[in-house]
Amino acid sequence: MDSKKFIDEKIKEIEGIEGRAVVGCSGGVDSTVAAVIAGKALNDDLLAIYVDTGYMRKNETENISSVFETMGINHRIIDAREEFYEAMKGINDPEEKRKIIGNKFIDVFEREAEKFDADYLVQGTIAPDWIESGGENRDTIKSHHNVGGLPEEMGLDLIEPLYDLYKDEVREVARELGLETAEKQPFPGPGLAIRVMGEATPERTEVVREACYIVEDEIGKAVENGELDRPWQYFAVLLPVKTVGVHGDKRAYGHTVAIRAVYSTDAMTANFSKIPLDVLDRISTRITNKMKNEVNRVVYDITNKPPGTIEWE
Ligand code: XMP
């Protein structure tokens, strides 16, 4: 595929529309590429909306702001953390978490989009999103993977510039656009909420946010050093069990963090990554040093998909 030609064509197509458009940007590759292409076509008639749900990765909000600034995209960063945390109080069931986050996201997004008086919604839908769902019937299999029915709810016409592309092609387009986001691993819509087993309180979320950051950072460095190939996804989850540890000369109960890293080409099946023990050692030591009072045990998930899934919830 000729990425430059693709970008030029899509910009031309979108330039042809009459009216204004909004795009929901999560910081991931697909939505960022869609936003940048649409922004180049529509200039100030595009508004990119990023909602900080409180379940985003460490530094995500700062990173996306800087991408918008650099690319000159008209944008709004919405700090909705309190609203989401409130809605998630006492919620333990993974599907309920997904539903609540999806609905809340629609609420917040709609509120902002209405203010902008948009006619169109730009989405970063890519080929596997609809192919895996059985062609026309796009929502069947991966319904839980969409962040809620934005278009139907809002009555906006859809613009999906990446509709026919596969992930590696989107990454190529991202590189052509000069986006660092190009190499980013996939991140689920409900975010860190489904990486905290059980209730995703702000405190527990903070622990998993830091642990995910450390896993990403250490594996990123190890990849650069040639110690392993970059896995498809690599992150941490916070388990709902406390175990005994030693804190100074006292016994203490602390949280347990699991490390998950997999190789995959499409997320439908996956093999656990054989991370070198030295790298695991660095991750474990850094997590337990950084969060001395919270975490005293780190375990490594060695399950393939199937029978496991990539995420734990
Ligand atoms: P599983 O855990 O089902 O994940 O093996 C397959 C891929 O999908 C991502 N995932 C999600 N993405 N909303 C999303 O947008 C979700 O609710 C969700 N659940 C899982 C997961 O990270 C992996 O890439």
Q: How remote is the CA of residue 229 from the centroid of ligand 1, in Å? A: 21
Contact (Cβ atoms closer than 8 angstroms) between residue 33 and residue 177: yes
Q: Has residue 100 got a pLDDT over 50?
A: yes
CA of 144, closest atom in ligand 1: 17
pLDDT at 118: 94
What pLDDT score was predicted for residue 134? 54
Ligand 1 center from residue 311 Cα (angstroms): 6
Mean pLDDT in residue range 44-62: 97
pLDDT higher than threshold 70 for residue 183:
yes
Dist. CA 53 → ligand 1 center (Å): 17
pLDDT band at 144 (very low <50, low <70, confident <90, very high): very low
What is the Cα–Cα distance from 228 to 283, expressed in whole angstroms?
A: 14
pLDDT of 152 reads: 66
Q: How far is the CA of 145 from the centre of ligand 1 (A)?
A: 6
Name the residue with higher pLDDT: 279 or 129: 279
* Beta carbon of 233 within 6 Å of any ligand 1 atom: yes
* For the chain, domain boundaries: 3-186, 195-300
Q: Look at the domain 195-300 and name its fold.
A: GMP Synthetase; Chain A, domain 3 (3.30.300)
- Helix boundaries (H) for the chain: 3-15, 29-42, 60-71, 81-87, 94-116, 127-131, 150-154, 167-176, 202-224, 277-290
24 Cβ inside 6 Å of ligand 1:
no
Instruction: Answer yes or no: is the C-beta of 190 below 6 A from any ligand 1 atom.
Output: yes
CATH architecture of 3-186: 3-Layer(aba) Sandwich (3.40)
Q: Which residues pair with 78 in a beta bridge?
A: 51
Q: Whose CA is nearest to atom 4 of ligand 1?
A: 310
The pLDDT score that the predictor gives to residue 205 is: 98
286 phi/psi in degrees, rounded to 5: -70, -40
Residue 247 has pLDDT above 90, yes or no: no
> By mean pLDDT, which of 179-183, 239-243, 290-294, 305-309 is the weakest?
179-183
* 150 confidence band (pLDDT: 50, 70, 90): low
Summarised one tens digit per residue, pLDDT across range 7-41 is 999 999 999 999 999 999 999 999 999 999 999 99
309 lines ligand 1 (CB under 6 A): yes
State residue 147's pLDDT score: 42
Which pLDDT score, from 0 to 100, does residue 129 have?
Answer: 80
CB of 297 within 8 A of CB of 256?
A: yes
Of the two residues 236 and 128, the one the predictor is more confident about is 236
Sign for the CA dihedral angle at 282, 285, 289, 291 comes to: positive
Closest atom of ligand 1 to 264 CA is 24
The reported pLDDT for the residue numbered 155 is 80
Nearest CA to ligand 1 atom 21: 188
* Whole-angstrom distance, CA of residue 303 vs CA of residue 47: 41
> What pLDDT sits at residue 139?
41
**Residue from 97, 104, 139, 145 to probe ligand 1 pocket by mutation (most atoms less than 8 Å from CB):** 145
pLDDT of residue 207: 98
Residue in this structure with the two tokens 């922004």, named with its chain if needed: 39
**Which of 53-62, 65-74, 146-155, 207-216 is least confident?**
146-155
Whether 146 has a pLDDT exceeding 90, the answer reads no
In angstroms, rounded to a whole number, what is the distance separating the alpha carbons of residues 99 and 7? 34
